[in-house]
Amino acid sequence: MNIRQRCIFSFEDAMKMQPKSRIEKIIDTLDFKPVIAKLHQPDGNKRGPKPYPTCAMLNALIAMRLENMNTFTQLVERLTYDPHLRYIC
């Protein structure tokens, strides 16, 4: 017989208790508002799947450079297997 134990902390609470990583510190200091305003496209011609949020994609590109990933394939693999990096982005 298995007894299910409830989690003491949620993932978000556990992330808040950890010290900030280098990526988090850099992303927190950058102001993306002007960049997002330039990249945001109007919803007039909306076809295809819903895109990822622009801010999340910028965070992923910054993390890619900071972690010395050379290809987008490496970034996608890292985001797939690393919940901490996925949460930051």
Tens digit of each residue's pLDDT (9 = 90 or more) over 11-49: 777 777 777 778 888 888 888 888 888 877 666 566 666
Whether the Cβ atoms of residue 72 and residue 37 lie closer than 8 Å to each other: no
Coil/strand/helix, residue 18: coil
Q: Is the pLDDT of residue 70 over 70?
A: yes
Token digits of residue 29:
């200091």
* Confidence band, pLDDT 50/70/90 cuts, at residue 77: very high
Whether the Cβ atoms of residue 12 and residue 81 lie closer than 8 Å to each other: no
User: What predicted TM-score, i.e. pTM, was given to this entire model?
Assistant: 0.69
Neighbours of 64 (CB within 10 A): 20
> What is the chain's Cα-based Rg?
17
Alpha-carbon distance of 65 to 71, in angstroms, equals 10
- Give domain limits for the chain: 22-39+52-88
pLDDT value, residue 47? 65
